[in-house]
Amino acid sequence: MNYLAVLVSGRGTNLQAIIDAIDEGILPDTQVSVVVSNRKDAYALRRAEAHGIPTIYHPLLPYKKAGRSRREYDEDLAKKLAQYPVDLVVLAGWMHILSSSFLRHYANRVINIHPALPGAFPGTHAIERAYEAFKRGEIDRTGVMVHYVPDEGVDCGPVIIQREVPIYPQDSLEDLEERIHRVEHEIYIQAIAQVLGVKLRPRRS
């Protein structure tokens, strides 16, 4: 059995896609052992709880108020995860840059998804920035990538999977967001399977 720790900050749609792929037998021999959020009101926590998955709430604010560093925060996060079996750490909308204090515990075992192609629109609001670039005539497509997180660089680790996503003249921002999210949900499952060496099974009819 392969065990995933999924780190989230928001709605958790990619988390839900992972849970569904496991429940439907598409991603075999895999289990989410724990879901971590830095936000107490993240809907992703409710998704996890609905499936009986243990959750951890690990906020940064108490560290800031106490004058403690991000590295201390990350070290404590690693200690909390050590209580669970973890073969792969999956960042699914985790809105913190992880430092070496965490990453050293999971070398080559942390992956992230980013709604842009390699080298394009790193950081937050990537879909909005791509849409604005399209409106300016600078690009005619964007994409999604899944990559390793070896260090503190932002959306620049070695790419596991990438896929282009077209932008059409009639697209609203919401249209583009929906198309990108559909691709995210597909290729994150593919990337997890690839990294773990698991063969995906066909979707049941």
Tokens of 79: 């200690």
- Separation between Cα atoms, residue 37 and residue 40, nearest integer Å: 7
Specify whether 105 is catalytic: no
At 77, the amino acid letter reads L
- List, as one string, the DSSP characters of 117-186: -TTSS-SS-HHHHHHHHHHTTS-SEEEEEEEE--SS-SS-SPEEEEEEEE--TT--HHHHHHHHHHHHHH
**Catalytic pick from 114, 125, 147, 185?**
114
Scored b (16 or more CB within 10 A) or e, 151-171 reads eeeebebeebbbeebebeeeb
What residues act catalytically?
A: 114
